[in-house]
Structure 1
Amino acid sequence: MKTNPTTAPEPRPPRISDFDIELTLLLEAIYLKYQHDFRHYAMSSLRRRLTQALDEFGLATLSQMQDRIMRSGADFARLFQYLTVQVSDMFRDPAYFLALRQQVMPVLRTYPSIKVWVAGCSTGEELWSLKILFDEEGLTERTLFYATDINPDALARAEAGIYALDRIAGFTQNYLAAGGKRSLSDYYHAAYGGARFAGALKDRVVFADHSLSTDEVFLEAHLVSCRNVMIYFDRALQDRALGLFQRALVRRGFLGLGSKESLRFSNQHEAFDEFCPRERIYQKR
């Protein structure tokens, strides 16, 4: 007499919290309503920032938040500030800028014209740091800079180039550690209760809205600097962004990443050589 073999029960899917279910639905609603795609941002970071947003809005659940932003563009604009990270410093991680000055600039100097893409420029500290660096290395007149971000408020602040005076001491310390050749005060003047860096530095800079989640390549670049941005992406979005950078860069062009970011486990690692491994500077093969 034959008997049916005993089959093991199918494993239950992992339990998903109500918060994460509502978070998934909220991100999908934002994408469909406003065409901003946060669905592949790192969930741990989103959970933390959206918990803060709930407190700020005085709401109990993300479902309530979804209802608010679906009916109010102004409320979405408020929430948008929590979904994008705007933390930076001038000459942040000075060794990175020193490596650019000492090792990358001699290569870039061989080009008759240069294009630099500062991706995820936030409020502009990285951009103005690079502008100062290129000015001191005599490359400003042949270089075009493209500063992009998805946050229009951040782009406006980047273009204004105004920073609180109490940040200047830290900026100056970083600048000197990055091999600064002058006084940082040569590049700003006091205005609007802060230090204004833009001025003449704004020449040859293009500010533009660009999403690493949904937009495509728009230039051919010799240097792409995208630092401390991809730590907020999941692996799929990291790979997408790195694919954009790979396609944007000229042959033997340079890619600069943040100190906690790497190409090692990405699908683009074979497209680049490690140029300054410690400072996360790569060169396209």
Structure 2
Amino acid sequence: MIEEEEIAILLNDLYEIYGYDFNNYSKASLKRRIQRICTIDKFPSFAELRYRVKSDPAYLKRFVEEITVNVTEMFRDPTFYHFLRTDVLPTLGAKPFIRIWHAGCSTGEEVYSMAILLQEANLLHKSLLYATDLNPTVLEKARAGIFPMSHMKLYSENYIGSGGKNDFSSYYIANYGQVKFKESLGEKMIFSTHNLVSDRSFNEFDLILCRNVLIYFDKDLQEKVLKLFDESLGTLGYLALGSKETLKFSSIQTHYKQLTRDKVWRKIN
């Protein structure tokens, strides 16, 4: 078993050598993931894992990919997307231009979901979707817009549950067990690395989505990231979090009104 002191040493290495700051991530989550890496990659000791992370940049990419959480799907929680479709996008549609930030976008499934919603609301042409993640490997996958064909049945069901009326397969081209989403959806996306722990605000947005990322941070880091979102969100903009995340007990709580149990808040102050 990896000890707490060893995790602290490894996190310090990552910060000192590469600039990755995981010190405020949930220690229990990190411990599970690092233990899993040791098991999968058959490291006989912590010293050998540490040496590999410090000396092998290619392995570092794998290590970071494993300890950052990349679980996502298209139209995840269909009632959430139904609320965006019926309540949020019609309001944003009154704006001359719409900026949306997917923070912690992982492999991009939720960004493509949003692009489909915008296209069906005839808003994609005047929208820009910023998709950011700490992990450059998952960003490359997101940028490509290629996903396994085996996931499409679930994604189609989610899409219908969100109020989608079209044939979901009309949005992609299938080939050799994979699908590629139409380039017209990706034209309005900007993919970039961004570290929620250390990087600053880079624009003013009308809608920020960061779903099921904060649950892996400790309370201090959650507070820091929520302040970053508050700085980045225009008045009357919308903030969407994951099902187990909340603004309660945060310093920005009084700036927002919760609109739905599906974790959407509107900035009122």
Shift of 1:226: 0.7
Please give the TM-score of this superposition, normalised by the length of structure 1. 0.91
Q: Does residue 161 of structure 1 match 2:145?
A: yes
| 1:91-148: CA deviation from partner (whole Å, max 9, x where unpaired) | 0000110001111112101111110000100000100000000110111011011000
Q: Does residue 187 of structure 1 match 2:174?
A: no
Q: Does residue 251 of structure 1 match 2:228?
A: no
**Aligned-partner Cα distance in 1 for 2:65–2:99:** 29
Q: Does residue 98 of structure 1 match 2:82?
A: yes
Gaps of 5+ in 1: 1-16
**Aligned-partner Cα distance in 2 for 1:208–1:169:** 29
**Aligned-partner Cα distance in 1 for 2:123–2:98:** 8
2:108 to 114, 124, 130: 124
**Aligned-partner Cα distance in 2 for 1:228–1:191:** 31
Classify the secondary structure of the residue corresponding to 2:215.
helix
Matched letter for residue 131 of structure 2: A
**Aligned-partner Cα distance in 1 for 2:110–2:233:** 19
Q: Is the 8 A contact 1:42 1:234 kept in 2?
A: yes
Q: Kindly report which structure 2 residues correspond to 1:47-126, keeping only aligned pairs within 5 A, or say none.
A: 47-126=31-110
Query: Partner of 2:129 in structure 1?
Result: 145
Q: Is the 8 A contact 2:107 2:142 kept in 1?
A: yes
Q: Does residue 242 of structure 1 match 2:204?
A: no
Classify the secondary structure of the residue corresponding to 1:169.
helix
**Aligned-partner Cα distance in 1 for 2:166–2:46:** 50
**Aligned-partner Cα distance in 1 for 2:225–2:95:** 25
1:219 to 192, 203, 227: 203
1:261 to 220, 245, 267: 245
Q: Which structure's CA Rg is the greater one?
A: 1
**Aligned-partner Cα distance in 2 for 1:63–1:284:** 48
CA gap of 1:63–1:225, structure 2 versus 1, over 3 A, is same
Q: Does residue 280 of structure 1 match 2:263?
A: yes
Please give the TM-score of this superposition, normalised by the length of structure 2. 0.96
Shift of 1:198: 4.4
Q: Is the 8 A contact 1:159 1:198 kept in 2?
A: no
**Aligned-partner Cα distance in 2 for 1:132–1:175:** 9
| Root mean square deviation of aligned Cα | 1.3
Q: Is the 8 A contact 1:26 1:62 kept in 2?
A: no
Classify the secondary structure of the residue corresponding to 1:147.
strand
Query: Partner of 2:19 in structure 1?
Result: 35
Shift of 1:230: 0.9
**Aligned-partner Cα distance in 1 for 2:127–2:223:** 28
**Aligned-partner Cα distance in 2 for 1:241–1:198:** 33
CA gap of 1:18–1:142, structure 2 versus 1, over 3 A, is closer
Q: Is the 8 A contact 1:19 1:61 kept in 2?
A: no
Matched letter for residue 20 of structure 1: E
Classify the secondary structure of the residue corresponding to 1:186.
helix
Gaps of 5+ in 2: none
Shift of 1:18: 6.7
**Aligned-partner Cα distance in 2 for 1:88–1:62:** 30
Query: Partner of 1:11 in structure 2?
Result: none
Moved more, 100-109 or 206-215: 100-109
